[in-house]
Amino acid sequence: MAVLGFHHISEFALFLTSLLVGVTMVMGVNAVNSAPNFMLKYYTYIGNPDTTSKMPKFWTNILNYYTIVTIVAQSIHEPTNVSTFLCRFSLLFRLEMSCLIMMVEILVILLMPFCGTSEMAAIAGLMIVAYLGGFARAYFENTGYALFSPCPSKMMSAMLIGSALSGAIVSVMQIVLKVNMPDTHDSILTQTILYFSLTLGIIFTAGVLLFLLLFNPFAKQFVAELCSRDSFWHNIYRPLRQSDTNNLYPQKNTSEEGEAHADVSNPNDAVNSADLFETQNILCEEGGASGNRVAVPNSHGSEHDASSKMVPTPPMGLRLFKPVEDGNSINYVASKKDAYGDTISVKEGAGMSTSELLQGVKIWPVIKKTYPMMLSSCLVFCVTYLIYPGILIAVAPDDDWYTTLIMTCYNFSDLIGRVMSMWKRLWPSRRFVLFVTIVRTIFVPLQFMCALHIIPGKATSYVFTAFLGLTNGFFGTLAMVYTPLSSGLESNGEKAIAGQISGACLLFGCSIGSLLQLIEVIPFT
């Protein structure tokens, strides 16, 4: 029986993993920005509270410098994640290495004050880890889109919800600590340790959950490298061989009605491949209800087990076939949708890893099929980052409670919008999503008028901010979810590439908006 929309524990585990991946991909930046007093007075923590800085202007703008370096690094490296060379590395390897680098980033910032570092060395160290953090987040975020794009749409939504949840967690912590702890030198250090320790714990947990996907039967239905016959270590680097390209488009037998059939009695007839069925134990929908295991035959066949049905499980990309009983045998018949309502692939080779599938995808045809939603992803976040956070804070920059509450307002409204995107009854058409992303540009002049006090009072700013966050969360998530679901994407490799390119468009929008915002805030500084 389905509980909260989940049919199996393994499905919930995949959802939880995607949620934590979303939290992790922005947690490092949020941790740095959540401790502004620590960063602005960092030179006092590497020396003593009475130390005078040799470069006061640098420390005044440290958060801007850190953010710019990180965004530039992400903008440079994220598009390279779809290059042939990087596609040769497995998704899990890229994600785990990114987690490791992001943990190093946080540890360096936290430990330098305790290592007797000089001010100049601290400046150099901060800029180096800012770049490394951006480098790691670029590959972590983009690879996450590749991992979850072929999965049911709720997994991509969960990843994007996670990024908003990270901001909400930080906002709650800021309010709690602001109420209960004074702004003294030692208290600020204690708060920073709490922020950074939480961040390290979340990143580490995400890395563990990602590795456990290797043992997740639900995830194996959608991600090729998870059900590979080869080990994790062997799949780390998998260049596409010429012999493998012949398996990318396996032939299938079709009946007069256009439905493909593959009889259990002769599994070699299903496709022209010797690796059609791998011997493994899985728990199918029907077998799961009764607790029976399902024995899956390999290419040589196997004997029937009296305690289980013989159900051949197609390899990645051949999940287009559904098992249908016909007398004493079980055939596979073609179907456009899987049990979760998501289109599934046919043009993928048996026994190939995700890295090999990605190398066989041509990027330009994917872009032509998905560019409206990619444009929406870019525009939604560009408009948001033209305003957030500088113009929002400019309304009352000297009011500490206003700056805290306006960020909380945005973070929670953004989170609510992303959670709403999980309800498919609210999904509008793709054209409407693109239309709203264009209309959202009206928020820019409205927030400017609030910052210039042409529109008086703070209440109006709160209202505009709530709608800004709500539309950013809902339509930004839908643009990302719709991209790998676009018609014409026939393989999981194409869906993964579509998710990666859409992620790069999202980051490009954030980068353009953030850089232009640096010019916008000049009149207010």
Q: What is the DSSP string of 92-149?
A: HHHHHHHHHHHHHHHHHHHHGGGTT--HHHHHHHHHHHHHHHHHHHHHHHHHHHHHHT
Residue 467, pLDDT score: 97
Residue 325, C-beta contacts closer than 8 angstroms, at least 6 positions apart: none
2 token code pair: 């389905």
Residue 233, C-beta contacts closer than 8 angstroms, at least 6 positions apart: none
Using only C-alpha atoms, what is the Rg of the chain?
25
Among left, alpha and beta (phi > 0; psi -120 to 50; other), residue 116 is left
Q: Which of these, 383, 353, 101, 72, lies nearest to 240 by C-alpha position?
A: 353
Residue 53, C-beta contacts closer than 8 angstroms, at least 6 positions apart: 43, 59, 119
> 21 near 149, Cβ under 8 Å?
no
Scan for tokens 């020396």, then name that residue: 47
Distance of CA 251 to the CA centre of its chain: 33
d(CA 332, CA 322): 5
Bridge partners, residue 324, by sequence: 331
**Vertex 152: Cα angle to 150 and 153 (nearest 5):** 100
Residue 241, pLDDT score: 64
> 147 near 20, Cβ under 8 Å?
no
> 21 near 206, Cβ under 8 Å?
yes
d(CA 396, CA 201): 34
Residue 431, pLDDT score: 95
478 token code pair: 């839908």
- 313: Cα within 13 Å, side-chain hemisphere: 21
Distance of CA 472 to the CA centre of its chain: 16
Backbone angles phi, psi at 323, to 5 degrees: -75, 125
> Both ends of the chain: CA-CA distance in Å?
58
Scan for tokens 């596609």, then name that residue: 87
Residue 142, C-beta contacts closer than 8 angstroms, at least 6 positions apart: 78, 81, 82, 500, 503, 504, 507
d(CA 282, CA 292): 10
Residue 507 CB neighbour total at 10 angstroms? 23
Residue 116, pLDDT score: 82
Distance of CA 234 to the CA centre of its chain: 25
> 348 near 317, Cβ under 8 Å?
yes
Residue 180, pLDDT score: 83
d(CA 274, CA 297): 12
Q: How many residues does the chain have?
A: 525
d(CA 96, CA 52): 40
> 522 near 397, Cβ under 8 Å?
no
Residue ranges of alpha helices (H) inside 363-458 are: 363-387, 390-393, 400-420, 430-439, 443-451
Please give the biggest Cα pair distance in the chain. Answer: 86
d(CA 92, CA 209): 11
Q: Identity (one letter) of the amino acid at 257?
A: E
Q: Which of these, 290, 102, 129, 360, lies nearest to 207 by C-alpha position?
A: 102
176 token code pair: 């709690």
Burial class (CB in 10 A: 0-12, 13-18, 19+), 373: buried
- Please write the tens of the pLDDT for every residue from 91-131: 999 999 999 999 999 999 999 988 888 999 999 999 999 99
Low-confidence ranges of the chain (pLDDT < 50): 1, 242-243, 249-350
Contacts of range 174-180, beta carbons closer than 8 Å, 24 or more positions apart: 174/34, 174/404, 174/407, 174/408, 175/404, 175/408, 178/400, 178/404
